[in-house]
Structure 1
Amino acid sequence: MRDTPVAQAIRHAVETFPDSLAVQTPEGALTYREFGAAAQRLADRLDTLVGPRGFVGIDGTRGAGPILAMVAALWADRPFVVVDPRDSEASTEKKFAALDVEAVTRYPGGPGGTPAVDLVPRPGRTPRPRPAPDAGAAGLETPWEVKEQLAYAVFTSGSTGEAKCVLVAAEALAPMVADHVSRLETGPGCRTLQFARLTFDGCVTEILWTLTSGACLVVVGEDALTPGTELAATLGDFRITHLKTTPFALTETRPPKDSALVHVINGGGPCRQAVVQRWSAVAAFHNAYGLTETTVCNLLTPPLDAADCHDGVPLGEIVGDCAYALLPPGAEPDAALDPALDAADRSAHDPERGELVVLGRSVGVGYLTEEGIVRFRDDDGRPVYRTGDVVERRGGELFYVERLDRRLKVRGYRIDPGEIEAVACRLPSVREAVVLAESVAGTEGGGTAAEVLACYYVGEADPRELRAHLESVVERYKVPSVVKRVERMPYTPNGKVDREALRRSRETAPAPEPAVAEDTAGAPRAAGDEVLALVRELTGLENVRAEDNFFEIGGDSATTLLLVGRLRELGWAEAGVRDVLRAENLQALVDRLPTGTV
């Protein structure tokens, strides 16, 4: 059954479980018999409206309708693309034009919760001339020229911010979905919450592991999926047994009381130990890894035990028809990437840390560009996709480290922020951590500025406790100069940590008042208050004390220059680096300021 096409597997579920629920919404439900009949009507309509290999455009309004349309497209061997109804008409039309979409869905509504789905020719489409099969068209391929049967296209911005159109072959879905069905034990009686937006390929696993196994897909509105109390209520009210969602949602949501959950999967970002601790207490908890370009999911862990994740959360075992290799960053793929190599041969070529490269049938077809398809293949035609993710092999397992494009160079050292974040999250009282390089300004008018590492975290740990923990594990140059606790992390609409928002929050924080400023009682602020305020700003510590040594609470060569620059700006023109270095603690530095000896 592992290589049974998903379209055929869904038909088998319709025939085997006709009276089981296939899709449930707040308005009603469809049995597999009803779902199958409706999907077949749509598939027949597609056969008349859309030519072979032609695309169908699906309006991603949440409900049973888009699910029916996806299955109908798979049954009719017509690839689909889902668009967000909130996008502008111009944006949607640009996507449709790129793929030459021939028909689009409409949802006129239907009584009793039964969805009415209509398919109409795409308004304003000008049919493109297509070459004959043996014409040997010049240039790169177009979607209808590829030898593979496409399943869908998905537009993704990835890490570049520029939208890319990824084409995925139907044959890659079968082993990936079958592995999920087996490992997540899905079948009649199971209820999957359809969480991911339909414009994200994460929805593919949710939908297909459910409908190929005879389980029920629960589709609700976006408000009911809001991380926190709303999502927890949805999990409880609909007796959800299977949930795949993001680190943000798992961090912000607590499992409902009397939970029906059986399997919970983290996907879409690094998994933290605190998340494993929370959710493994109520269900079998898994971590998943994959990319749009490599057919959704490539790695999935067995159920995780929080006690085994002290040093990090593994990425898991291979899912679907793929293999992987690790390459030193910047290296070119070579014979070590041959999918035929066995594990022993591959480990002889692979470093212990490197860029993860995915191989095999799970690798997507390629990017659709204005010129044609740019395939994910090496010079020998083998499926290869360089993920841009740095991973580390420890004890035979893979652990995520960082994106290649997030690597930093601070004070001459190359640093992987993700490595420091992972170490921070080993502390039980830290739930999430983000490490950034920030430019901290010095004096005005050409004063000193420097790049420093800043660690923002969510949790109960005191900044001093976290700093001491980091100093006990990582090299000194990797310990952030700024360690700051925040109430919650800012997130983007896609559920990723908004690092730019964190930077802006520090940039817009109020600066210390000048030395001549008066306090609320009308008296000038003392020199000690000024120094403590400056050090709080430079280190992120809120409870800086006069007896603290500057270098023991985060001070380093870069922030020393900044401290001296700020002191001079506030009126102590003779302040020097040597005096900060010699000061036993901040009080010793303060005592010297009024005398002019600093």
Structure 2
Amino acid sequence: MTTALDAIGERVRRTPDRTAVICADARLSYRRLWDGARAVARALAARGPARGSVVGVLGPGNEHFMTAVLGCWLAGASWTPVDPAWPEERQRHVLADTGAPLVLATDGSAAPDRLHGTPVLPVAGAIASGTPDDGTPDDGAPPGRPGPDDQAYVIYTSGSTGAPKGVCVDHGALAAHLAGAVEAYGLADDDVLLSFSAPAFDATVMEMWAGLVAGGTVLLRGSALWTGPQLFARVAEHGVTYVGCTTAYFETFFGEELTARDVELLSGLRAVFFGGEAPSAAVVRRWAAGPLGHVPLCNGYGPTEAVIAATRYWIRQGWDGGDQVPIGTCVPGHEAVVLDDEGREVPPGAGGELYLGGRCVARGYLNRPDLTAERFVRLPGREGVWYRTGDLVSRNGEDLVFVGRVDRQVKIRGFRIEPEEIEVVLRGLARVRGAVVGVGRGPGGRDRLEAHVVPEDRAVPADVFTARVRQELRERLPVYMVPEVIRVLDELPLGATGKVDRAKVLAGTGGA
């Protein structure tokens, strides 16, 4: 496939009346989705040259969100998500940095006329005023469809300077990833995929579009954050076969003990895939040993710069892989190499920095040639551009194992320490559900390690829990890596993308 747009257009030709998208009471066939997208494309073209521009898409990930994205592509434009929950300063930065000429609003009832000076067009209005009669997928859309080298989307990630940076992904890289995902996860035209993540999280791109490339159906949660019972009921109601979500959502909804009714509602699942952060080995182990252990879990890893999920690790019935869940092996279309500080490939069992290559590498950072040159590099003796992830990994056989971050290394009492390495160990403990480790200030202003931990069993007294955790850490880590302070939390707050909001956890207790 050259682009996702071409692949979906082919599905429109072959199965126009098959349901493509479900969201609340809305159901769109492939034909209706495509017709709506053509109307949006014409509305974009009527407001000026759209080709090559970046259009903002504001609002929840509903059926209008998918229509807006397809409309941008048909008009030759790329798109960037704009989350209504973002602070105004972040919204302004994204719109100014992309130079967005227009914002498409997926929730018409809440759409302003302008967003920080940029005109806003409700998607529903564009569809209502311009949906064409039945025609072929090539009828009624502006000319100039994108090719593999044209930009498909820009998604903003946190920047070390405090200003978010836009990651530019072209159509060829996206198409290669989606084709690899269809192969890696065994997606088919009878599958129904639940997309549960927020649109600002790049995994949503895979959750939404891999299902359509495979000819299946995508179920969207929209703006509602369902409870566990609501989620399970919708899985059963719509015959969902694959669930995609962040790790935090998985542990929240699927991590508890399942009732007989829950098992019945989820019995049609073929797999659950999640990613965004390291999962709790205890939660994963309980699923694999439970009544739905025959439903495999897939732990996905990949920075936005390497186009969504670059690796995956399957957890199957009876899994007992120890205290840490690996990030696994490459999804087709991706390549990985682990290098030491001298740029040499490390031997099995050794650790180093992970570089990701292959067709599925982003073009770079929007308007940041300096940072692009620093992170997207050429490696001697290897073809193409490689993304320097800044992630430390080791190899366990064929599988990659996440260790920590190069740029989060701290020095405590003269020792260089990776806080995420401690987090990984904490999440591997049977009594721990989630953890964040940072640096706080002790008496006299001395830096110290502080862990913020959610217990698996909330009935255990906090002092008993922390004492047991501290003892288990001493059995697994050097003494200088055992946090001086262990704070017990009821839960870890989630950010807009569904990942744990580390900054909020650490700021709430004076950590850094």
Give TM-score, length-normalised by structure 2: 0.79
Q: Which whole-Å CA distance do the structure 1 matches of 2:190 and 2:378 have between them?
A: 48
Q: 1:55 to 1:478 in 2, by over 3 A?
A: closer
In the alignment, what sits opposite 2:179? Answer: 178
**Bigger mean CA deviation after superposition, 424-433 or 293-302:** 424-433
Distance in structure 2 (CA, Å) of the matches to 1:108 and 1:418: 38
Note the alpha carbon deviations across 1:12-68, whole angstroms, 9 max, x for none: 222222222101121220112222232234345545543432333323344211201
The residue number in structure 2 matching 1:353 is: 351
The residue aligned with 2:163 is 162
Alignment check: 8 A CA contact 2:21 2:29 kept = yes
Q: Please state how far the C-alpha of 1:204 moved relative to its aligned partner.
A: 0.7
Farther off after superposition, 58-67 or 90-99: 90-99
3-state SS of 2:169 partner: strand
Distance in structure 2 (CA, Å) of the matches to 1:399 and 1:369: 33
Q: 5+ unaligned residues in a row in structure 2: which ranges?
A: 110-122, 129-146
Pair 1:475-2:478 in alignment = yes
Q: How does 1:7-22 map to 2 (within 5 A)?
A: 7-22=5-20
Letter of the 2:467 counterpart: R
Query: Shift in Å at residue 372 of structure 1?
Result: 9.3
Compute the displacement of 1:504 (Å).
5.7
8 A Cα contact 1:391 1:402, kept in partner: yes
Q: CA deviation at 1:398?
A: 0.9
Say whether the 8 Å CA contact 2:328–2:398 is kept in structure 1. no
CA distance in 2, matches of 1:393, 1:477: 25
Partner of 1:190: 191
Which of 271, 277, 283 is residue 269 of structure 1 equivalent to? 277
Matches within 5 A, 1:299-448: 299-305=311-317, 307-328=319-340, 331=341, 346-347=345-346, 352-369=350-367, 374=372, 377-378=376-377, 382-441=384-443, 448=444
Residue 267 of structure 1, CA deviation: 1.0
Aligned residues of 1:224 and 1:234 also touching (Cα < 8 A): no
Q: Which residue of 1 aligns with 2:70?
A: 71
Q: Please show how residues 85-124 of structure 1 align to structure 2 within 5 Å.
A: 85-86=84-85, 92=91, 94-106=93-105, 116-118=124-126
Q: Deviation of residue 116 (structure 1)?
A: 2.9
What is the match of residue 149 of structure 2? Answer: 148
In 2, Cα distance between the equivalents of 1:53 and 1:90? 25
Cα deviation digits, residues 215-274 of structure 1 (max 9, x gap): 111123333346x45544544444432222122212221363421322111211112212
**1:523 equivalent in structure 2:** none
Q: Whole-Å Cα distance in 2 between the matches of residues 305 and 117 of structure 1?
A: 48
Shift of residue 285, structure 1, vs aligned partner: 0.3
Give the C-alpha shift of residue 459 in structure 1.
Answer: 2.2
SS at match of 2:354: strand
Q: Secondary structure at the match of 2:441?
A: strand
SS in 2 for 1:431: strand
8 Å Cα contact 2:39-2:127 kept in structure 1: no
Paired position in structure 2 for 1:83: 82
Distance 1:53 1:208, change over 3 A: same
SS in 1 for 2:201: coil
TM-score, scaled to structure 1: 0.68
Alpha-carbon distance between aligned partners in 1 of 2:504 and 2:371, rounded to the nearest angstrom: 36
Deviation at 1:195, TM superposition (A): 1.8
Instruction: Looking at secondary structure, tell me which structure has more strand per residue.
Output: 2
Q: Which has the higher mean CA deviation after the structures are superposed, 166-175 or 78-87?
A: 78-87
Letter in 2 for 1:417: P
In 2, Cα distance between the equivalents of 1:161 and 1:174?
31
Is structure 2 residue 450 aligned with structure 1 residue 451?
A: no
Please state whether the residue corresponding to 2:333 is helix, strand or coil. Answer: coil
Contact 2:184 2:331 in 1 (8 A): no
Whichever residue aligns with residue 308 of structure 2, its letter is V
* Equivalent residue, structure 2, for 1:521: none
State the one-letter code of the partner of 2:456. Answer: G
Q: For 1:492, which of 491, 495, 506 is the aligned residue?
A: 495
Q: Alpha-carbon deviation of 1:435?
A: 2.8
Q: How much has 1:165 moved relative to structure 2?
A: 1.4
Contact 1:224 1:230 in 2 (8 A): no
Amino acid aligned to 1:399: V
- Which position in structure 2 is the counterpart of 1:25? 23
Per-residue CA deviations over 1:526-569 (Å, capped at 9, x if unaligned) read xxxxxxxxxxxxxxxxxxxxxxxxxxxxxxxxxxxxxxxxxxxx
* Aligned match of 1:246: 246
**Equivalents in 2 of 1:378, 1:407: separation in Å?**
22
Which 5+ residue runs of structure 1 have no aligned equivalent?
121-145, 337-345, 442-447, 509-598
User: In structure 2, do the counterparts of structure 1 residues 74 and 429 end up closer, same or farther at CA, with 3 Å as the change threshold?
Assistant: same
- The percent of aligned pairs where both chains have the same amino acid is 29
CA gap of 1:273–1:117, structure 2 versus 1, over 3 A, is farther
Give the structure 2 partner of residue 203 of structure 1.
204
Per-residue CA deviation, residues 342-387 of structure 1 (Å, 9 max, x unaligned), is xxxx555x88212212223222111122789945543689412211
Distance 2:449 2:103 in 1: 49
Equivalents in 1 of 2:12, 2:92: separation in Å?
34
Structure 1 residues 10, 103: closer, same or farther in 2, change over 3 A?
Answer: same
Q: How far does the alpha carbon of each residue in 1:432-464 deviate from its partner, in whole angstroms, 9 at most, with x for none? A: 2333333222xxxxxx45333333322237333
State the secondary structure of the residue aligned to 2:436. Answer: strand
Query: How many angstroms does 1:213 deviate by?
Result: 1.1
